[in-house]
Structure 1
């Protein structure tokens, strides 16, 4: 019996050894393949280093996004005023009203304002309270993207490196630096979309309907942040789960239907409440033509953004502020500076992903990751390149997570792709730096020299001297990311105010950077433009609204400067409120003390023009700090 047991034990040990050697051999064979592993082999380094590296990345990201943040003042006064209103009145906070007396909402749903409104309520109305939440969202987005990409790769070391690369690219994309230091809704939008990608990465390998429901919940909140813009990634998530979840087709479809229900509930509860709330006792839904959220979602914040059209003319968005629609738009003018630094490398990453998939060198989750981020990137690129409605360069922040993830995954899974991406990224960075006239000329030579050195070291590390891998990786990142890092730092150093911020002010060469947007297009782009005399005058009023003025931007600036509620006639985009009759009734009821001329073009606002004409016919003007003011009571 002992002999038999001993023989069985020896047999088991031999089988274990064979299996272990087979695994090692398979790993070694994979490492020797031309296009299978990328920059690193299986590690012999301590397991704690990814946490240390991630901590350093997050500290640097926080420093970039928080550094000298008050130079932006209140950022976009339109949303800052709404945050202040929400801090004063819970109903205004819930609806996203521009003023605390709930005359009209902003032109977006209120999820982002819920965050900044709570911040202002706790810390008071100041620049830090308005802008810090977005900076923290940026740090959070980098951390979640790292976690998502790290979990995608089968090898833990390669996964950590891929995640660090992805997070670094997101942090250093100029559009991200711009928006994570600003109070537009895009900061929360990106955080929620990246969080949804993380939930998807957890859902796919386990075919988990619970994790997939969280994907729907996150995208529902993204809808409540910026409406249809939050759903652009939906095709990517649905396709990845449908193709790669390890269960039968019926269960995949059933799980996706469940996630759709979660999305509808997450996005629809607020829409339903607003729809059921009596219109007479809530603010007008700014941006809509019929005072409904669905009209706002499908019109002003939906189809009109993509193809233009509609009966409304958006004040403050004159034509000619973006390049013509086409495949090259994303590489040229302002968009090129804000997001295109690594796009040539992204194209190489997608090609590498296709090659690896055809050769069956990807795990299920790696393949799913490539599909997710590729479809995300392609859909957003096509939309931003060809949309003919209102399009602003900072929209392209939505591309940054996908670009980072694709480059990070390709860099660690394909050595040839890693080398090609270094060359592409460094070459395009030199072109953009030269075109923008940013930084000294020698910096472009340094980037070129670093790229050549990096390629040589990568080839050496991947053929004869693997110990050179850390040095090769470091120089590769330097060559690839120096250009976008320089522009991001310049962006952080540039003061930004108004509704349409751009990255950095550089040399006045074609395509110009900053010169098109540097000048204020109308009164009230910043609270600093409100004369102290006018602000003091409004602050002494006791009526429901201290004043009325044409346009939400002008009203927002007056609100912030005076600390009072101001009626925004016509809202942001020539909304049909109030009518002349309604305004006259409010004046006669003693609800408005002053009317302040804002300089808004009356041809863009019929109601506002009629009201201004009526005021001029019945009241005498007076000058207060350079502004024309009419006392109505």
Structure 2
């Protein structure tokens, strides 16, 4: 039996021309009458989820918030993506996502809302694009299911409420995928080329958002059009080359400017060890992410077997405790429904838009999954948001095709298997959050298994025609509820809790989240970063610092988390952050790349508090921003207009808190990790001699875990040591501050 599927039905012979308002509300004539209303509800619901109490996360990732603030004050900082309006150094990413936030801050002033609302609207836009693309080839119900699946993916609810570049990246990748599929569908050569050029431009903008990560979707785009496009093969190749040229132009103009401008006439390229954007692209943010050899990283190089601070690699990596609850809820349904749908469409025309959609989203999912599974470098749980559109699209597309074949045993088996496996996997994921509504996992499992049985009974047991529709809708409804209830609960939990710092994670705390399946830096508490992976609503912070372990313990303030499985980092001395309320320390005689450093590993409880590496009183650290007191802010603001930088501090997060509090430039010595060779001691001394910097704010943090170019971490230490030996310190609410315009007697004599 040959199976064919069409989302459209024949239109009546004569239909009165509707008004413009009617056409807008009604949508396509082929869609059900409820389709447009359902889309409006979907988008409004998504907007509510992503915008609700958005300001609770404050500056979110202060590293990017400070750069957006700088871009709102200086067009040079805007163009380069500088961390500060003094243009000392850029962030370690291209600036496209900062451009959006900086423009919003220019228009509406600096606030949590002006920074984060654009991210939320990007999420609504991504849901709208995905819905429209799936609906176009598979029908309105499929589009609605795909859009809903994306909207309630927990990591999507996290990143579309956060200021990392991933929100814009996902929007651009989704838009590019839609453009490629429209090119497959288009009949005219000119239309095909225009859509492919648009896809190339969007991918180029994605490169200016997060560099090489956007290229993970290129195999899906190229394969889909090369195999399934309408023109002859030669023309398809030429069109894809033209799209590649559009990609190069849309990204290359900015890269060319940055590379051609002399280093002394622009800010230092943050994250690089050679002040080169191309070096950053192919090093720290490129090959280093795959191999783990990331000079200047926050983690060590990989060890035997590929294990490092970012966990063991392998095909099942993303199903582990650290990553599973972020995005994998619907993976069973996506794989089963997508594979069976492709089989059912095996005899369709080569250029079938529906099959092209399945190939594109399926290849996107498999390619990105494999890269994420085996990359040995920096890999944070929120990176998995790049999988969300592909998973959601496959669920919608596959469900539509397989439902059409439900009269066959293959269709029945696929629907039952997808529902049952998804419910069972949700049960596993919910079990990892044992304190989070324990009854939910049993309800999801029960409803899912009953729905799976219902699909079988619909096929095996004759039903009166007048009851068949009701029975079918009931089973489908139960299957949708069983599949989406758990991720929706996690998404709501994510939206209901603040997330701050560099390493946010979606959903409630999970048992053994970091360390049980991953041995690297984490900080995945419910309220954002402030410590290592949380396991329950406790308040007891324990763990071992691996290797020759020291002990880190203490009671976190507020309703903290139980933290465990701290990764093997030796040779550091740790202490609790200023408001985490913890105590306990540990040190080990680690290797030379981990010199003992008075640190500060602060916890962040659900009720508030700050922390992070290097958490001196009031100070920030490697992964959490500083929170200066009113007295310190007042001191920094004195005569601020006379200085290029009101202060300097080691590390971008540390500097970001002071900059956001004062809205004046603060130089981040050493960039994000404190390991960038910017500025050198000689450069810093010249800035001080020229009267460009007013204060230096001391921090216990000097550099990240892994050394920079060999001198970078030493540069940061030399700057700190030089300041300490030449200027007199003063204590401001527990923070040590040096006035760089007033040398000490010893410093003046030596000068």
Answer whether TM exceeds 0.5 for this pair.
yes
Matched, 1:344 2:328: no
Question: What is residue 665 of structure 2 aligned with on the other side?
Answer: 565
Matches within 5 A, 1:150-169: 150-153=135-138, 159-169=139-149
Question: What is residue 535 of structure 1 aligned with on the other side?
Answer: 633
Describe the superposition over 1:146-201 as per-residue Cα deviations: whole angstroms up to 9, x where unpaired.
11111233xxxxx2111111111111111111100000000000000000011111
In structure 2, distance between residues paired with 1:174 and 1:505: 10
In structure 1, distance between residues paired with 2:300 and 2:645: 24
What is the Cα deviation at residue 383 of structure 1? 1.1
SS at match of 1:87: helix
In structure 2, distance between residues paired with 1:431 and 1:38: 36
Matches within 5 A, 1:358-369: 358-360=346-348, 364-369=352-357
8 A Cα contact 2:8 2:30, kept in partner: no
In structure 2, distance between residues paired with 1:445 and 1:340: 19
What is the Cα deviation at residue 441 of structure 1? 2.6
8 A Cα contact 1:549 1:567, kept in partner: yes
Matched, 1:544 2:644: yes
Q: Which moved more, 1:396-405 or 1:342-351?
A: 342-351
In structure 2, distance between residues paired with 1:68 and 1:347: 35
SS at match of 1:232: helix
What is the Cα deviation at residue 314 of structure 1? 3.1
Q: Hey, which of these two has a bigger chunk of helix by percent?
A: 1
In structure 2, distance between residues paired with 1:45 and 1:218: 30
What is the Cα deviation at residue 598 of structure 1? 2.1
Matched, 1:222 2:219: no
SS at match of 1:306: helix
Describe the superposition over 1:359-381 as per-residue Cα deviations: whole angstroms up to 9, x where unpaired.
54997111211111111001110
Question: What is residue 427 of structure 2 aligned with on the other side?
Answer: 430
Describe the superposition over 1:588-624 as per-residue Cα deviations: whole angstroms up to 9, x where unpaired.
1111111111221357412101111111111122211
What is the Cα deviation at residue 454 of structure 1? 2.2
In structure 2, distance between residues paired with 1:41 and 1:249: 31
What is the Cα deviation at residue 322 of structure 1? 3.9
Describe the superposition over 1:236-272 as per-residue Cα deviations: whole angstroms up to 9, x where unpaired.
0000000011111110000000000000011111111
SS at match of 1:621: strand
Matches within 5 A, 1:38-49: 47-49=32-34
- Cα distance change, pair 580–528 in 1 and its aligned pair in 2 (3 A): closer
Question: What is residue 186 of structure 1 aligned with on the other side?
Answer: 166
SS at match of 1:109: coil
Q: Which moved more, 1:182-191 or 1:569-578?
A: 569-578
SS at match of 1:181: coil
In structure 1, distance between residues paired with 2:718 and 2:72: 33
In structure 2, distance between residues paired with 1:67 and 1:432: 25
What is the Cα deviation at residue 507 of structure 1? 5.5
In structure 1, distance between residues paired with 2:301 and 2:134: 37
Question: Of 694, 714, 719, which aligns to 1:606?
Answer: 714
In structure 2, distance between residues paired with 1:46 and 1:549: 59
Question: What is residue 487 of structure 2 aligned with on the other side?
Answer: 484
Question: What is residue 100 of structure 1 aligned with on the other side?
Answer: 85
Question: Of 173, 179, 199, which aligns to 2:179?
Answer: 199
- Cα distance change, pair 316–64 in 1 and its aligned pair in 2 (3 A): farther
Matched, 1:584 2:682: no
Describe the superposition over 1:490-521 as per-residue Cα deviations: whole angstroms up to 9, x where unpaired.
11112111011111343655668626257332
SS at match of 1:622: strand
8 A Cα contact 2:94 2:209, kept in partner: yes
Q: Which moved more, 1:411-420 or 1:62-71?
A: 411-420
What is the Cα deviation at residue 127 of structure 1? 0.7
Question: What is residue 594 of structure 2 aligned with on the other side?
Answer: none
Question: Of 204, 228, 234, which aligns to 1:244?
Answer: 228
What is the Cα deviation at residue 115 of structure 1? 0.3
Question: What is residue 71 of structure 1 aligned with on the other side?
Answer: 56
Question: What is residue 494 of structure 1 aligned with on the other side?
Answer: 497
Q: Which moved more, 1:618-627 or 1:210-219?
A: 618-627
**Number of aligned residue pairs:** 596
Q: Which moved more, 1:203-212 or 1:457-466?
A: 457-466
In structure 1, distance between residues paired with 2:271 and 2:664: 23
Give the structure, 1 or 2, with the largest relative contact order (CA under 8 Å, sep 6 or more): 1
8 A Cα contact 2:59 2:65, kept in partner: yes
In structure 1, distance between residues paired with 2:494 and 2:483: 18
Question: What is residue 319 of structure 2 aligned with on the other side?
Answer: 331
8 A Cα contact 1:353 1:410, kept in partner: yes
Matched, 1:474 2:458: no
Which sections of structure 1, spanning at least 5 residues, go unmatched? 1-28, 154-158
Question: What is residue 295 of structure 1 aligned with on the other side?
Answer: 279
Matched, 1:504 2:507: yes
In structure 1, distance between residues paired with 2:56 and 2:300: 23
In structure 2, distance between residues paired with 1:505 and 1:322: 21
In structure 2, distance between residues paired with 1:230 and 1:475: 36
Describe the superposition over 1:559-616 as per-residue Cα deviations: whole angstroms up to 9, x where unpaired.
0012211111111141111111111111111111111112213574121011111111
Question: What is residue 400 of structure 1 aligned with on the other side?
Answer: 388
- Cα distance change, pair 339–95 in 1 and its aligned pair in 2 (3 A): same
Structure 2 length normalisation: TM-score? 0.75
In structure 1, distance between residues paired with 2:385 and 2:510: 23
8 A Cα contact 2:69 2:110, kept in partner: yes
Question: Of 247, 257, 275, which aligns to 1:273?
Answer: 257
SS at match of 1:107: coil
Question: Of 125, 140, 153, which aligns to 1:173?
Answer: 153
SS at match of 2:667: strand
Matches within 5 A, 1:401-480: 401-415=389-403, 416=411, 417-459=414-456, 464=463, 465-480=468-483
In structure 2, distance between residues paired with 1:627 and 1:134: 34
8 A Cα contact 2:100 2:118, kept in partner: yes
In structure 2, distance between residues paired with 1:45 and 1:260: 35
Which sections of structure 2, spanning at least 5 residues, go unmatched? 12-28, 404-410, 517-523, 526-530, 535-602, 604-610, 614-618, 708-712, 742-751
Question: Of 14, 35, 60, which aligns to 2:45?
Answer: 60
CA RMSD of aligned residues (A): 2.6
In structure 1, distance between residues paired with 2:311 and 2:494: 21
In structure 2, distance between residues paired with 1:509 and 1:517: 7
Question: What is residue 139 of structure 1 aligned with on the other side?
Answer: 124
SS at match of 1:125: coil
Q: Which moved more, 1:415-424 or 1:267-276?
A: 415-424
